[in-house]
Amino acid sequence: MAFDFKPFGVKQLDVIDNCDAFINILEGAVRSGKTIASIVAWINFVDESPHRVFLMTGSTSDTLYRNVIEDIERILGTKRAKYVKSAKGGAALRLKLENPDYPEKSNRKYVSKICYCVGAHDERAEGRIRGMTVGGWYADEITLYPESVVKQCINRMSLAGARAFWTMNPDSPYHFIKKEFIDKAAEKGYRRWTFGLDDNLSLTEQYKQELKNAYTGLWYMRMVDGLWVLAQGAIYGDCWDEVENSFDDEDMPPGLLSSARRYIPIDYGTLNPMVFLDVYDDGETCWVYREYYWDGREKQELKEDAQYADDFDAFVRGGEPPIGVIIDPSAASFKTTLRNRGHRIKDADNAVEDGIRNTATMLKKRKIRVHRRNCPNLLKERSSYIWDEKASARGEDKPLKQNDHAMDALRYFVKTIISPRRLTT
């Protein structure tokens, strides 16, 4: 399927025509046209570069493919752009581009180039990149990379005329990308473009409003307004309504416990509290009906996996079997124990920032409601679930690791089960 180009805006055209610095930075709101402009500029650069080997990075190789490479394949066609994965887990984008040094009838009309593709979200990526020598680097979602990986990638661009193309959404104003590269762009000769929703001419007013509906608080300021703002205070402070985000038995839709899809998200703990939440999803609203909360330190009694499994069996007994038991992938032993007892286990998606953002959206839309009497610990934690100020000063967005166990279980449920479509409708 060929790529369906929409009209480019002025800022996108400026990027395509003038991405000529050593580092070219495209930042700003989501869906604002950054990525397609950077893709066209990258294709043009690689085509014109005398070099053969390049580097492309994403938060993961899958997100790099989904966000960038799939569009390159559609623009160039799969005969000229082929994404290849090796048996050892590596990946590369192989390109056949026009060779201007040979005439039209020459059998060397095309020149082959290769872009090594690497997931860069953790420190291990540095080892996969070390030793490369490349003529350019494309980085998608670069604020999600560790600083050591970014510096290693820059070191790899030692060939003459090498350039970097970076895309990102705003993060903390203390993030190293903001402090070391964006704030110093003019001083160091880097090019920087800041995009807003109106810079993408293909967005309808209705879609812009849907995007705005999908974010709240901190994430609205970053993802919609395009601001580099600090995470501070209560994480869900502006999302929670004491009446509309809670309920009693009489508020429940008739037949909810027998008709809705039942899930049990778990935050696993041995020394820390163990939490189960009993969640009923009717397709519109997620009703957190009950909780199990065992704090071994407070009760001075630590439990083993078998004891917790007995408690779990008692917790789910008497109702419809849960469709899925959602648990952190790191809780390997407890997963095995529950699976051996016939429970359907689903690994939780533990992407912290995305999970918090999605949960905030669901709360703001009043699509999560918590039982006022059956969930005392979840309600207590909700008001004390705050950003870690020390992490914020380092440019990291992390919740303070205290009083967060029930809130983590709720986050696991939302990030793992709730589709992106439900966040915008």
Kindly report the pTM of this predicted structure.
0.79
Predicted confidence at residue 259, as pLDDT, reads 94
Dihedral, CA of residue 58, residue 62, residue 65 and residue 70, to nearest 10: -150
Predicted confidence at residue 197, as pLDDT, reads 95
Predicted confidence at residue 70, as pLDDT, reads 95
Predicted confidence at residue 393, as pLDDT, reads 87
Predicted confidence at residue 297, as pLDDT, reads 84
Predicted confidence at residue 276, as pLDDT, reads 98
Each residue's pLDDT, cut to its tens digit, for the chain (425 residues) gives 567 788 999 999 999 999 999 999 999 999 999 999 999 999 999 999 999 999 999 999 999 999 999 999 999 998 899 999 887 778 999 998 876 555 555 555 678 999 999 999 999 999 899 999 999 999 999 999 999 999 999 999 999 999 999 999 999 999 999 999 999 999 999 999 999 999 999 999 999 998 888 888 888 999 999 999 998 888 888 889 999 999 999 999 999 999 999 999 999 988 889 999 999 999 999 999 999 999 988 888 889 999 999 999 999 998 899 999 999 888 999 999 999 999 999 999 998 989 999 999 999 999 999 999 999 999 999 988 899 989 888 888 888 888 889 999 999 999 999 998 888 77
The rounded distance, in Å, linking the Cα atoms of 182 and 406 is 38
The single residue listed with the structure tokens 């390159």 is: 72
| DSSP, residue by residue, 226-287 | -------SBTTTTT--TTTTEE-GGGSPTTHHHHSEEEEEEE--SSSPEEEEEEEE-SS-EE
